[in-house]
Amino acid sequence: MVDISTTIGPLRLKNPTMLASGIMDEDAGSMQRMMDCGAGAIVTKSIGMQPREGYANPTVVELEYGLLNAMGLPNPGIELYGEEVKKLRTSNVPIIGSIYAADADEFVSLAEKMQRFGANALELNVSCPHAKQYGLEVGCDPVLLQEIVTSVKQNVSIPVFIKVSPNIMNLVQIVQGAEKASADAIVAINTVKAMKIDLETRCPVLANKTGGYSGKAIKPIGVRCVYDIAQAVDIPIIGVGGITTGEDAIEYFMAGASAVQIGSAVYYRGPDVFKSVCEEIKTWMKNHGTTTIKELIGAACR
């Protein structure tokens, strides 16, 4: 009997796949659809204190091996979005509230509200590659990040995950600081900072010029980051980046991840990608005499 359930701190997931933040999580209806399609957990849009329009179009372009986007964190603000989260309280699928802010006080306010609205855990987005003030400036400062994590942990009772960037040099220092501040898990990675130039207009395609690259092209980067993080901390890791198949997920498990988030693959394989990936994981495990996800976690690190 193959068991693909997993745990992230106190959270137990029926399967190791999560919907990544930023796709099909605009409202309760879209998130419910992803639950019905088999996601083991749902990560919300990244939400701030106030409504934010985001950047002008074009904001997304499909490239050879993935998607390049600079949305600019558009969202309706915590109060309006909280009403959507409240509608999902009866679900047995964990809801992970993604939040972004510029300082510890704002993170605490958002965290308290997200918990009150019914989130089962928090994902602190400190790594958006194209949002000034709310992005890498926060996630690459170990002192500020420790202050944020410590403050949030002191004011909420639900698990706190930190989403980190592959675009910084001090990644190990950042995750060790987050662990020291009692973070419950690390989410690795956010999108890779990138650009596409139109040869005819000789201008960047995105209105914001640069954006975040996601999809299969960044999977080796994500796997490497998870592997490095697994050597540096003892808290769980959630792998993100280019996961399209069950074998992709297993590679992340072997690098040290306890669960994975799926984003771009919803576009490439459709909403049923969660069920498909879970079946592919089970098939691989059966063929290799493996009965639990735990047997695979960190296998390449041993």
Q: Is residue 129 part of a domain?
A: yes
Q: 228 phi and psi, to 5 degrees?
A: -65, -40
Asked if residue 58 has a cis previous peptide bond (ω within 30° of 0), the answer is: yes
Residue-level pLDDT at 128: 85
Residue 121 lies in a domain: yes
How confident is the model at residue 77, as a pLDDT? 98
Mean pLDDT of the chain: 95
Q: Domain for residue 276, yes or no?
A: yes
Please report whether residue 275 resides in a domain.
yes
In a domain, 197, yes or no: yes
pLDDT of residue 132: 67
What is the token pair recorded at 221? 């980067």
Q: How confident is the model at residue 133 (pLDDT cuts 50, 70, 90)?
A: low
In the predicted structure, residue 278 carries a pLDDT above the cut 80: yes
In a domain, 1, yes or no: no
Q: What domain range is 11 assigned to? A: 6-301
Q: If you average pLDDT over residues 205-220, what whole number do you get?
A: 97
Alpha-carbon span 197 to 217, nearest angstrom: 18
Quickly count: other Cβ atoms within 10 Å of residue 287's Cβ.
8
Region 57-63: mean pLDDT is: 97
Average pLDDT, stretch 73-95? 93
Per the structure, how many domains does the chain have? 1
Average pLDDT over residues 178-187: 98
pLDDT value at 189 more than 80: yes
3-state secondary structure of 147: helix
Look at residue 134 in the predicted model and tell me its pLDDT.
Answer: 64
Report the Cα–Cα distance between both ends of the chain, in Å, rounded: 25
| Alpha helices in 66-135, H assignment, sequence order | 78-86, 104-117
Q: Is 128 a catalytic residue?
A: yes
Q: What percent of the chain has pLDDT over 70?
A: 98
70 within some domain: yes
Please identify which residue in the block is written with the tokens 């969202």: 75
How large is the average pLDDT for residues 196-200? 98
The predicted model gives 208-229 an average pLDDT of: 97
pLDDT tens readout for residues 235-273: 999 999 999 999 999 999 999 999 999 999 999 999 999
**Who wins on pLDDT, 302 or 25?**
25
**Is 167 within a domain?**
yes
CATH number at residue 132: 3.20.20.70
More reliable by pLDDT, 57 or 167: 57
Using the predicted structure, report yes or no on whether residue 138 has a pLDDT greater than 80: no
Work out the pLDDT band at 89, boundaries 50, 70, 90: confident
